[in-house]
Structure 1
Amino acid sequence: MATEAGDGGLHFDSVLSQFEVKRLFGTGPVEWYTPTNVTLWLFLIIVATAALLIWGTRGRSMVPNRSQSMAELTYGMVHKMVEDISGKDGLKYFPYIMTLFMFVLFANFLGLLPKAFTVTSHIAVTGVLAFSVFFTVTAIGFIKHGAHFLDLFWVRSAPLAIRPVLAVIEVISYFVRPVSHSIRLAGNMIAGHAVIKVFAAFAGIAAVAPVSILAVVGMYAFEALVAFIQAYVFAILTCVYLKDALHPSH
């Protein structure tokens, strides 16, 4: 929080302190096996996903309740996304994409709770997700098409003279995918939460407190929209990459 200092200035806590990885128990350095706030919120994401998709649909009634309706709408939306972008042969991989979407969605939304930790603000998390997509779709491409998967980088519709140049560009673009895939998500989460904390820091100053509170409310509403959009974009890009693996020819 920001407070008015004796010299008329402001003292701020670090805006990025909300992204620090901290031990859940005891003191000392954080090791790879140490239970941390990241561990806790990763577990809560799994619990929230299971609660919606398993516990929320346990009745399977013809007239669904709210939780069943949300689960069915989410399922239908992601299923249609996979079919429309990757084709019917992409539906084989629907469970994987649905899992990714639900994980990112709940990670983003739970991160908006007070005192919560946004795991998707860490490149270590989004990087693992993005590289898992990259290696998965690349493996699918080579398993299904063998060496013909390399047709993805050879633009046959272009004049022969510029095909090698385009091939280099396509290769670079392909290997940059996991970087952009992960940074886009983490960057949006960091930026939004940092802005909220900056606005909240002014709430302790009487002169600007009303404006600060309104700004925080507005940013929370915006971040709720961004939380969904980023999960949706992550899933869409996964579908696009899957389509390239299933249909590599230009």
Structure 2
Amino acid sequence: MATEAIHGEETGLVFHPLDQFLVTPLFGDGGVSWFTITNATLWMALGVLLIWAIMAFATRHRSIVPGKMQSVAELIYGFIYKMVEDVAGHDGVKYFPYIMALFLFILAANSLALLPMSFAPTSHIAVTAVLALAVFITVTVIGFVKNGAAFLGLFWVSSAPLALRPILAVIELISYFVRPVSHSIRLAGNIMAGHAVMKVFAAFAAITLVSPLSILAITAIYGLEVLVAVVQAYVFTILTCVYLKDSLHPSH
């Protein structure tokens, strides 16, 4: 991530920690439209290529005694498969490829965003909202296709007193439609906050007196962001599994 520190005569130290999130055209200086290839497009494409390269390389020479890359690929595969099976149940295993693809894409995008001069696609609501809406629509369709009208039982709390059930049904319905909002904002907010804080401390590195402290802070925050990159991919994925479970078994 680029750092800029400009010393103005009146304003002192000036830096713009949110400039790193600007979506700009990759070619030319025009505006951004629906089909413009941007820096966000580039880094999302690099994330997809990274996933393909790692998985293709790891499984190119498969053996009973796995090598390092094959071990990593099998570890990720087994971890996500067990998550889907434990959370969504045996019926949810058929949707494992979709959930695996979600996890790998978010993990790759978050990880690549930690490289210097990179861009964080998952810091934008436009990206995370598409992922969250895709999950929301998918699990809703699955719920109605598998259960029919019985899927609406997800909103009817039969264990509650009869007088409270209509009120709880409205609350459950609102909560259900808020899912894609919280699902997307959680991921984008955490990624944006971490990168903005790193940019702020990086700007202070230009000041001689606080430079050592700033470098220590950047190192600590960078280590934390590596953890956040993995954790946020995990959180997004496990919430997807929870939503899938509700669609497959609305009465539970």
Give the TM interval when normalised to the shorter protein: over 0.9
Q: What is aligned with 1:26?
A: 28
- Structure 1 letter corresponding to 2:12: G
Deviation per residue, 1:11-54 (Å, 9 max, x gap): 21x21110111111112111211111111111101111111222
Match of 1:10 among 7, 10, 13: 13
**Residue 52 of structure 1 contacts residue 68 of structure 1 at CA under 8 Å; is this kept in 2?**
no
Q: What is aligned with 1:103?
A: 105
Match of 2:157 among 155, 162, 165: 155
Q: Indicate whether 1:126 and 2:128 are aligned.
A: yes
Deviation per residue, 1:25-84 (Å, 9 max, x gap): 112111211111111111101111111222222111222222211111000000000000
Alpha-carbon deviation of 1:7? 5.4
Q: How many residues align?
A: 249
**Residue 82 of structure 1 contacts residue 91 of structure 1 at CA under 8 Å; is this kept in 2?**
yes
CA distance in 2, matches of 1:18, 1:213: 19
Deviation per residue, 1:179-220 (Å, 9 max, x gap): 000000000010000000000000111100000001001000
Q: What is aligned with 1:76?
A: 78
For residue 28 of structure 1, give the secondary structure of its aligned residue in structure 2.
coil
Alpha-carbon deviation of 1:4? 4.4
Range 71-80 or range 50-59, more displaced: 50-59
Alpha-carbon deviation of 1:9? 2.6
TM-score (norm 2): 0.96
Matches within 5 A, 1:186-205: 186-205=188-207
Q: What is aligned with 1:218?
A: 220
Q: What is aligned with 1:184?
A: 186
Unaligned segments of structure 1, at least 5 residues: none
Alpha-carbon deviation of 1:6? 4.4
Match of 1:141 among 143, 166, 169: 143
Q: What is aligned with 1:115?
A: 117
Q: What is aligned with 2:244?
A: 242
Q: What is aligned with 1:35?
A: 37
For residue 204 of structure 1, give the secondary structure of its aligned residue in structure 2.
coil
- Structure 1 letter corresponding to 2:98: Y
- Structure 2 letter corresponding to 1:248: P
Alpha-carbon deviation of 1:2? 2.5
Q: What is aligned with 1:50?
A: 52
For residue 37 of structure 2, give the secondary structure of its aligned residue in structure 1.
coil
CA distance in 1, matches of 2:11, 2:131: 46
CA distance in 1, matches of 2:218, 2:204: 10
Alpha-carbon deviation of 1:5? 4.3
For residue 205 of structure 2, give the secondary structure of its aligned residue in structure 1.
helix
Range 96-105 or range 27-36, more displaced: 27-36
- Structure 1 letter corresponding to 2:14: H
CA distance in 2, matches of 1:88, 1:57: 26
Unaligned segments of structure 2, at least 5 residues: none
